[in-house]
Chains A and B, each alone.
Chain A
C-alpha cells in the first residue's frame, strides 16, 4: 500500500461533465504534484504546489484546475475534457526541494481517467 492515496481509482466521464480527482498524504510533506501518464510513456509534470501555493503550472490547459485546500490534500478539478486527456493521473508528494540534495517523491497509484 502506498502512503499517497488517490480517489477514485477509475473515472469515466463525458466531455461536458465536471469531476474532481482527490489526493491525500499524511507524511508531513509540503510539496505536492500532479503528473499525467499516457500508456508506455513516463509521467509528465502538470502542477507543483509548495506550502499549499501553486508554484509551477506546466502550461496545462485551463480545463484542468488544481486546488490545495490544506497541507494533506490536493484536488484536480476537471471540466470539458477532450478524449486525448484520457490517461493515468498521478499525485506525488515530497519534502520541499531545497537548494541542496532533494528528497524523493512518493507517488499514489493514480486515477485511470477515460473521456468518452
Chain B
C-alpha cells in the first residue's frame, strides 16, 4: 500500500527565514510525486511534478527535490503570502486506483 508522510505537521517562520518541508513516501513503482499548495477554503493548487530521483523543479521562492525515498520542498526567503498548507502526493499504477495518495500536509505560517 502506498504511504506518504509529511513533516513537520506545522511550521511557523519569520519572513525571510528559509526552511524545508519533508515528504517521505513508499510506493511500488513511482509514476509521479506531486506538490500542491492549498489555501483555506480553496482547492489544492498544483505546484510541481517530480518523476525520478535527482530531479529538481523551481518556481519563485520554491524548489522541489526528489530522492528514492523522499522529497523536499525548500522555501527561500519566504513571504507572508507563502502561508498555506503544502500537500505532497504520489501516484502509482500498482494500486489500481490511478489516483493520488496524499500526505497529511504541512501547515506553513510566515509572519511579517
- The residues of A with any CB-CB pair to B shorter than 8 Å are 2, 4, 6, 31, 33, 41-43, 45, 48, 50, 55-56, 58, 88, 90, 92, 97, 99-110, 112
- Interface presence of B104 (CB below 8 A): yes
CA distance A112 to B41 in the complex (A): 8
Q: B residues within 8 A CB of A31?
A: 98
CA distance A42 to B99 in the complex (A): 13
Residues in B55-91 with C-beta less than 8 Å from chain A? 87, 89, 91
CA distance A58 to B95 in the complex (A): 12
Residue A104 contacts which of B34, B42, B103 (CB distance < 8 angstroms)?
B34
B9 to chain A, nearest CB (A): 10
Residue B42 contacts which of A33, A42, A100, A109 (CB distance < 8 angstroms)?
A109
B43 touches A56 (CB 8 A): no
Q: A residues within 8 A CB of B51?
A: 101
B31 touches A100 (CB 8 A): yes
A97 touches B91 (CB 8 A): yes
